[in-house]
Chains A and B, each alone.
Chain A
Amino acid sequence: GESVGLHLPTLSVQEGDNSIINCAYSNSASDYFIWYKQESGKGPQFIIDIRSNMDKRQGQRVTVLLNKTVKHLSLQIAATQPGDSAVYFCAENRLDDKIIFGKGTRLHILP
């Protein structure tokens, strides 16, 4: 069936380096793609979104890239900090009001 998924379950990054978290999707009809951050024991928290007619969107220290040709989404975090340690989920907002999440990538920050 159609789903949103991730390439890597765990990503270890040196503090201060840039992090890149990837996501593959299969539903071409989704209108928005969204990144959420989930810290241990908490609910997910919205980071940034991108509409399907855009290629790139920047926020504070984060950039989301969308490649519709290969159905690929990425989240780039600049100058990774210890507070960035969390699980990151991509999600898609389908045209039927369903917001479907992928499995998540755990970002581990090395000192």
Chain B
Amino acid sequence: NAGVTQTPKFQVLKTGQSMTLQCAQDMNHEYMSWYRQDPGMGLRLIHYSVGAGITDQGEVPNGYNVSRSTTEDFPLRLLSAAPSQTSVYFCASSYRDGSYEQYFGPGTRLTVT
């Protein structure tokens, strides 16, 4: 049982490049989410999904796309990277009951130059 996995762990992009951050979970969780964490800050919700085929916007969705074609996978796409997207990105998953006790992945540290 691997839990929530994220790849890559580190990534450097040039402004304007696009890329996909991968997230997968093997706990059969309905709910998945993406957060970004800037230095010394809290986590801000980018997008979330309550099940396969359903996604919705969080607090800071601009510049990011998501899809949820399977229960296990929830990739985050950066369409045209900007320096303001330099951050640590966390993916999380949970069952849709109670408080949605989320299990977080180890994070992807992204730098945009």
The residue on A at minimum CB distance from B56 is: A97
**In this assembly, does A43 line the interface, its C-beta being within 8 Å of a C-beta of chain B?**
yes
Complex CA–CA separation, A89 to B35 (angstroms): 14
Q: Which residues of A contact B48 (CB under 8 A)?
A: 97-99
CB neighbors of B among A1-53 (8 A): 31-34, 42-46, 49, 51
CB neighbors of B among A73-108 (8 A): 89, 93, 97-104
Given known pairs A44-B90, A89-B43, A103-B41, the reply for A49 and B59 (CB within 8 Å) is no
Q: Which residues of B contact A49 (CB under 8 A)?
A: 98-99, 101
Q: Which residues of A contact B52 (CB under 8 A)?
A: none
**Beta-carbon contact of A98 and B58 below 8 Å:** yes
The residue on B at minimum CB distance from A1 is: B59
Q: How far, in Å, is A39 (CB) from chain B's closest CB? A: 11
Interface-central residue, B35, B43, B90, B92, by most chain A CB under 10 Å: B43
**Beta-carbon contact of A43 and B98 below 8 Å:** no
Tally of chain B residues near chain A (CB < 8 A): 27
**In this assembly, does B13 line the interface, its C-beta being within 8 Å of a C-beta of chain A?**
no
**Beta-carbon contact of B90 and A99 below 8 Å:** no
**Beta-carbon contact of A101 and B35 below 8 Å:** yes
28 A–B contact pairs at CB < 8 A?
Answer: A32-B99, A32-B100, A34-B101, A43-B92, A43-B105, A43-B107, A44-B102, A44-B104, A45-B104, A46-B101, A46-B102, A46-B103, A49-B98, A49-B101, A51-B98, A51-B99, A93-B99, A97-B31, A98-B58, A98-B59, A99-B33, A99-B45, A99-B48, A101-B43, A101-B44, A101-B45, A102-B42, A103-B42
